[in-house]
Amino acid sequence: MGQRFYYLEPASPEMAGAAGSRAAAGIAGSNLASPTQAWAVVDLRRSQITAGLYLSEADSQEIASVMKQGRGGPALLGALSAAYDGLERSFGTPNGRVRIVRELQDAEDFAGRSLRRVPASLLVPLRRRLRAGLLPMIAGWVRTNSEDFIRAAAHPANGVTVTVTMQTVPGLDHVRGALAGRLGAGSLRGAAISGVVRAGPIGTVTVSPGKRRP
């Protein structure tokens, strides 16, 4: 029978350096293929919503490459908007990526089961208001922070997370009341008309290398 012989070839300095950087950053190889996705934490105590929009490594590098040429703003905004679209569809669904915080030590997982108990007459206007507040916030950030995104994409971590924190979100006090059973049908209708659709939220946008859930 024949014999097979194998030998190990040392990696090039460039490959070894890249591997070392990823190992130092604590990045598992399985994260390389993590898809673009998003999560949200709805903090009813503070009337605050934090959304984490994660762009995959492939998407991040493609967008960063175009941004270096000075024309990547629309691509980044489109990718973040698409990530939010997926998150928005998760509100009130069994496979959601939404976590609810109601009281101290009272936080559910990312299934978002509580929101499925909120009437559509309140949840639909709330989603519309969030979109109307969040997307312009992201668009303004994209116009002035391209270099921050490029730096985050150049980090050894896989992918990039853009985190949007919206404060004083109108309507969350009504969601809290609905979950506690303190709002009747008439109150819910009034809340949907007045409390949710008036003023938009204020907030901040930050960017971080890697996948970071809020």
> Could you report the per-residue pLDDT of 105-156, keeping only the tens digit for each?
455 555 556 666 677 777 777 788 788 888 999 999 999 998 999 999 999 9
Residue with tokens 């905004």: 77
188 belongs to a structural domain: yes
The conformation of residue 171, written as its DSSP 8-state character, comes to: T
21 belongs to a structural domain: no
Name the pTM for this structure: 0.75
2 belongs to a structural domain: no
Q: Please write the tens of the pLDDT for every residue from 86-107.
A: 888 877 665 567 887 876 545 5
* Count of alpha carbons within 13 angstroms of residue 180, beta-carbon side: 13
14 belongs to a structural domain: no
Give me the domain span that covers residue 110: 31-207
8 belongs to a structural domain: no
Cα 42 versus chain centre, distance:
12
Two structure tokens written together for 178: 């609905």
DSSP-derived 3-state class of residue 125: helix
How many domains are contained in the chain?
1
Residue with tokens 């007045």: 194
7 belongs to a structural domain: no
Read off φ and ψ for residue 162, nearest 5 degrees.
Answer: -105, 120
Handedness of CA 77, 80, 84, 85 (dihedral sign): positive
Residue with tokens 């391209």: 146
110 belongs to a structural domain: yes
The widest CA-to-CA distance across the chain, in whole angstroms, is: 86
86 belongs to a structural domain: yes
Q: Please write the tens of the pLDDT for every residue from 2-21.
A: 443 433 344 444 334 444 44
